[in-house]
């Protein structure tokens, strides 16, 4: 049996402890997951509210309104009535009012108002009860409006609002998540069955990945006290946790089985897997966590929530891979290959296609590198034209009646859908001075040539010290016209009117203002995030491989991978390719949080493959192999498992592109494309070509850094060959 002194490194020591105390390790893991589930049931998850998500002037305004004690507002709905062929809207408006008034779930119905162009009538009303659950009660109102539309085919009559919008999103998302849950596990399991050719070996990664996600979601309930959760966080945690958890287990199991098939005894096979694949999991997991931590620099509630959720799910996946997985492998022994599938089970994991390609790459490394860089450059080129936008209702089911109605209402009544909101805070806003400023504001708004759109609505809090004045902005949210109107409002109109009230604080918020302030904060934080992520990733690789060149190569290759993902994202979602296949409507821009989130996610995930492959290359180098032989062996022996791992990730990410939210489609396509390119063009062509060209320079370390610790990438050879045992025996 292997001496314990030969086992070096944190991952290997943990694995050996787990193997010696496997019952304790397995029961402890199950107890840990169960405890997190109980924690989430005892500690309610804190949801992020709108006031917490703001930045700059709009963020300050939203927080003032949040603290002003305005009474809870019911969920508002609107019914638009428009001419189609010169027909009369008056009768239809009266019928809408009568029908809605008879619906039990509908509160007060307001008198109809007319649009400035005389083509549209708007009827507004509220859904009674709690605003948060109004989507559950809006159905009868929608049915009543649909009935009136059927009776007046010559008119366009449609409803939209907060409750109907929430209902649409909830219904679409529930259907998408149900489809995802039905497909993700079977698809992942099917890929692993092909990869391993054995049922037990395929089930282990899926089971541990699911348990890791469940545990992380439970921990997120407690973490939400410090990082309130946004709606998309759980989806992102499932996306990353399933992909990363499966890959980590796949790397570990494959290496352990390969060593057993080479004749290593059970202890040594597990020790080698722990010291090599386990070490790679530890390093890549730490790198992913470091990359995710970069999002904290944004101080944005969405990014902070994403960072916390992904850090927790990656940490639990690493914990499971390093602790309970070795214990399970020790307990199962060769039974991990039980229930073999005829025609799929293979004794080796070499990727024959990739080994053939590798011969060509190593024979012509310069040409191969140039071809790979050119191909990746073409794919990344569209990223130079990337534009971003905030999330909008049309990002969900753009062809639905509710979305179409909301957009039509925005065209006819801009102040009713996405108005600018002027927040005035003073000792009192119930004064002649405020009333005079309000009249001045109305007069100035009428003289702006339609840039500021009436009606102008005013709401005052019960304490009488905060007023919110809503006014429409010309144009559509985020376009040049609305941005110009916002600038006019902030720079001229508000200072010249409400700004003249002595001692008053005047701020402008609203969707357009929030988008502008968000982009400014985003741009300010980018240099810090890039410096943090790139710098710490470089340091981690430097310490792991004791090579400046390897660390620099890893960083550059990962940046190329991210750039290619950006290019694919712009090509599909900004240019509008594959709209029918992916069921979306291109908006000419990418969701504003997507580029940064993809950067940190992809930079972290790319390290999985990079660390795993370069570790195997370094093993060959440590045994004295020439660089090209080390590259040939390292990439050749990992090609099969890298392919399997990449297919799992691509499949899981691609499934997320089937969800109805445009942001999840972008996330799924961006991640799937990046992982596919990373595992093929970058790891199978560009990496070996570059390392072959650099030769001995790959391992260059300046004298001033020779103090870095030596990290063994290969377990020392046993003094005597170990006999092959049919079963893994317990480790004493």
H, E, C per residue of 62-113: HHHHHHCCCCCCCEEEEEEEEECCCCCCHHHHHHHHHHHHCCCCEEEECCCE
pLDDT cut 90: percent of the chain above it: 40
Residue 727 has pLDDT above 50, yes or no: no
The predicted model gives 380-399 an average pLDDT of 85
Q: H or E segment at 421?
A: strand 420-425
Cα separation of 26 and 49, whole Å? 39
Instruction: Say which residue, 504 or 89, is predicted with more confidence.
Output: 504
Residue 216 has pLDDT above 90, yes or no: yes
Summarised one tens digit per residue, pLDDT across range 513-570 is 988 998 888 888 888 988 998 998 898 888 888 899 999 999 999 899 999 999 999 9
So what's the pLDDT on residue 710? Answer: 66
Range scoring the smallest mean pLDDT among 96-105, 207-216, 278-287: 278-287
Residue 731 has pLDDT above 50, yes or no: no
Cα separation of 97 and 108, whole Å? 10
- Pairing outcome for strands 155-161 and 75-83: antiparallel
Helical pair 162-196 and 233-261, crossing angle rounded to 10 deg: 0
Summarised one tens digit per residue, pLDDT across range 315-344 is 999 999 999 999 999 999 888 888 888 877
So what's the pLDDT on residue 694? Answer: 93
User: 452, 388, 390: which is closest to 421 by C-alpha?
Assistant: 452
The predicted model gives 560-581 an average pLDDT of 92
The predicted model gives 220-231 an average pLDDT of 88
The predicted model gives 474-502 an average pLDDT of 89
So what's the pLDDT on residue 108? Answer: 86
So what's the pLDDT on residue 3? Answer: 44
The predicted model gives 188-211 an average pLDDT of 90
So what's the pLDDT on residue 384? Answer: 95
pLDDT classification of 719: cutoffs 50, 70, 90: very low
Count other C-beta atoms under 10 Å from residue 185's C-beta. 15
Percent helix, percent strand, percent coil in the chain, to nearest 5: 65, 10, 25
- Asked if residue 648 lies in contact with residue 669, where contact means CB atoms within 8 angstroms, the answer is no
pLDDT classification of 729: cutoffs 50, 70, 90: very low
So what's the pLDDT on residue 489? Answer: 95
Whether omega before 124 lies within 30 degrees of 0, making that bond cis, reads no
Summarised one tens digit per residue, pLDDT across range 250-304 is 889 988 888 888 888 888 889 888 888 888 888 888 888 988 898 998 888 888 9
- Asked if residue 245 lies in contact with residue 213, where contact means CB atoms within 8 angstroms, the answer is yes
pLDDT classification of 485: cutoffs 50, 70, 90: very high
Q: Which domains does the chain have, with CATH numbers?
A: 1-42+197-349 (1.20.1640.10), 68-164 (3.30.70.600), 413-516 (3.30.70.600)
Segments in 21-80 forming alpha helices (H):
22-42, 56-67
pLDDT classification of 83: cutoffs 50, 70, 90: confident
So what's the pLDDT on residue 8? Answer: 66
Cα separation of 274 and 257, whole Å? 12
- List the structure tokens of 579: 């709209």
Cα separation of 683 and 510, whole Å? 46
- Asked if residue 64 lies in contact with residue 505, where contact means CB atoms within 8 angstroms, the answer is yes
Cα separation of 243 and 205, whole Å? 10
Summarised one tens digit per residue, pLDDT across range 337-348 is 888 888 777 655
Residue 201 has pLDDT above 70, yes or no: yes
So what's the pLDDT on residue 609? Answer: 79
Cα separation of 662 and 105, whole Å? 31
Cα separation of 683 and 730, whole Å? 37
Range scoring the smallest mean pLDDT among 360-369, 428-437, 620-629, 652-661: 652-661
So what's the pLDDT on residue 84? Answer: 66
pLDDT classification of 487: cutoffs 50, 70, 90: very high
């Amino acid at each position: 049996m292997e001496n314990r002194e030969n086992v070096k490194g944190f991952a290997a020591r943990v694995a050996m402890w787990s193997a010696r105390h496997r019952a304790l390790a397995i029961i402890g893991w199950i107890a840990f997951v169960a405890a997190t589930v109980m924690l989430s049931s005892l500690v309610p998850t804190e949801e992020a509210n709108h006031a917490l998500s703001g930045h700059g002037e709009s963020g300050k305004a939203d927080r003032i309104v949040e603290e002003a004690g305005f009474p809870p507002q019911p969920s508002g709905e609107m019914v638009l009535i428009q001419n189609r062929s010169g027909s009369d809207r008056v009768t239809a408006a009266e019928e809408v009012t009568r029908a809605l008034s008879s619906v039990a779930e509908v509160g007060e119905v307001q008198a109809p108002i007319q649009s400035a162009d005389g083509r549209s009538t708007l009827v507004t009303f509220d859904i009674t009860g709690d605003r948060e659950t109004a989507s559950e009660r809006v159905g009868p109102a929608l049915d009543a409006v649909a009935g009136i539309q059927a009776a007046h085919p010559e008119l366009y009559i449609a409803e939209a609002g907060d409750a109907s919008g929430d209902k649409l999103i909830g219904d679409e998302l529930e259907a998408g998540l149900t489809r995802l849950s039905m497909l993700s596990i079977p698809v992942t399991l099917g890929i692993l069955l092909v990869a391993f050719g054995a049922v037990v070996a395929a089930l282990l990664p899926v089971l541990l990945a699911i348990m890791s996600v469940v545990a992380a979601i439970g921990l997120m309930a407690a973490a939400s006290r410090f990082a309130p959760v946004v709606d998309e966080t759980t989806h992102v945690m499932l996306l990353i946790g399933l992909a990363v958890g499966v890959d980590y287990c796949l790397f570990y199991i494959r290496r352990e089985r390969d060593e057993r098939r080479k004749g290593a005894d059970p202890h040594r096979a597990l020790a080698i897997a722990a010291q090599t694949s386990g070490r790679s999991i530890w390093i890549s997991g730490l790198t992913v966590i470091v990359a995710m931590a970069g999002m904290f620099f944004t101080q944005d509630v969405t990014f902070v929530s994403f960072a916390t959720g992904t850090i927790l799910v990656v940490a639990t996946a690493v914990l499971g891979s390093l602790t309970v997985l070795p214990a399970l492998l020790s307990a199962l022994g060769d039974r991990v290959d039980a229930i073999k599938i005829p025609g799929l089970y293979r004794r080796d994991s070499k990727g024959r296609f990739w080994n053939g390609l590798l011969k060509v790459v190593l024979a012509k490394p310069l040409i191969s590198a140039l071809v790979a860089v050119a191909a990746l450059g073409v794919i990344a080129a569209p990223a130079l034209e990337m534009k971003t936008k905030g999330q909008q209702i049309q990002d969900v089911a753009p062809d639905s009646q509710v979305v179409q109605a909301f957009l039509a209402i925005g065209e006819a009544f801009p102040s009713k859908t996405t108005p600018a909101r002027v927040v005035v805070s003073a000792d009192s806003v119930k004064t002649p001075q405020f009333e005079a400023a309000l009249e001045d504001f109305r007069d100035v708004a009428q003289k702006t040539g339609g840039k500021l759109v009436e009606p102008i609505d005013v709401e005052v809090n019960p304490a009488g010290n905060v007023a919110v004045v809503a006014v429409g902005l010309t144009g559509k949210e985020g376009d040049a016209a609305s941005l110009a109107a916002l600038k006019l409002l902030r720079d001229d109109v508000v200072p010249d009117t409400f700004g003249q009230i002595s001692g008053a604080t005047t701020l402008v918020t609203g969707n357009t203002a929030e988008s502008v302030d968000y982009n400014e904060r985003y741009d300010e934080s980018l240099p810090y995030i890039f410096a943090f992520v790139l710098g710490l990733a470089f340091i981690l690789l430097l310490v792991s491989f004791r090579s400046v060149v390897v660390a620099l190569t890893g960083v550059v290759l990962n940046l190329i991978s991210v750039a290619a993902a950006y290019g694919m994202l712009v090509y599909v979602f900004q240019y509008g390719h594959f709209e029918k296949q992916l069921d979306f409507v291109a908006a000419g821009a990418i969701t504003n949080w997507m580029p940064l989130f993809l950067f940190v996610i992809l930079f972290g995930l790319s390290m999985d493959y990079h660390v795993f492959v370069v570790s195997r290359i370094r093993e060959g180098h440590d045994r004295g192999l020439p660089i090209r032989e080390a590259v040939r062996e390292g990439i050749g022996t990992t090609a099969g498992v890298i392919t399997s791992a990449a297919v799992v990730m691509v499949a899981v990410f691609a499934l997320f592109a089937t969800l109805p939210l445009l942001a999840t489609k972008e996330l799924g396509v961006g991640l799937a494309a990046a992982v596919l390119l990373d595992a093929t063009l970058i790891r199978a062509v560009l990496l070996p070509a570059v390392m072959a060209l650099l030769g001995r320079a790959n391992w260059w370390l300046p004298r001033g850094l020779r103090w870095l610790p030596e990290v063994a990438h290969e377990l020392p050879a046993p003094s005597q060959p170990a006999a092959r045992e049919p079963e893994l025996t317990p480790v004493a």
